[in-house]
Amino acid sequence: MKLTTKGRYAVTAMLDLALHYEQGAVTLSDIARRQGISLSYLEQLFARLRRNGLVDSVRGPGGGYNLAMPPSNISVAKIVIAINENIDATRCGGEKNCDGEERCLTHNLWEDLSHR
């Protein structure tokens, strides 16, 4: 499976939200810091994810984003479709070509999918 950078970032951000599911709203700046993704890039992605019903926004103090449904109901395909991307470009792919020194958050996911 190959994803565009946009698709990979969307999946990574959604996985970050899933890891914090039921812990309250998560700010995009927190996701940006943890995952090394540009805040402005995340703002564009989350506008699409919200319009397609995958995330809910929470306004005001303590605001941010929550998953709009349980993580088990959200597939990689739903995320990719929501941001209008196809599955055929760049990726980590679990092949030790993550951005930066450490394994990316989705490294194991891509590694598992690549071996199926």
- Answer whether residue 20 shows pLDDT above 90: yes
Start-end of H helices in 20-114: 28-35, 39-51, 76-82, 107-114
- Please tell me the distance from the alpha carbon of residue 90 to that of residue 100, in angstroms, as a whole number: 15
Structure tokens of 23? 């812990």
pLDDT at 106: 73
pLDDT at 82: 93
Tokens 């996911």 appear where? 109
Model pTM score? 0.73
71-115 per-position pLDDT tens digit? 999 998 899 989 986 554 345 555 556 666 677 777 777 666 655
29-72 per-position pLDDT tens digit? 999 999 999 999 999 999 999 999 999 999 988 899 999 999 99
pLDDT at 89: 36
List of domains in the chain: 5-114 (1.10.10.10)
Q: Please, which residues have CB within 8 angstroms of residue 21's CB and are 6 or more apart in sequence?
A: 66, 67, 70, 71
- β-pair type (55-58, 64-67): antiparallel
pLDDT at 109: 72
Mean pLDDT of 3-26: 92
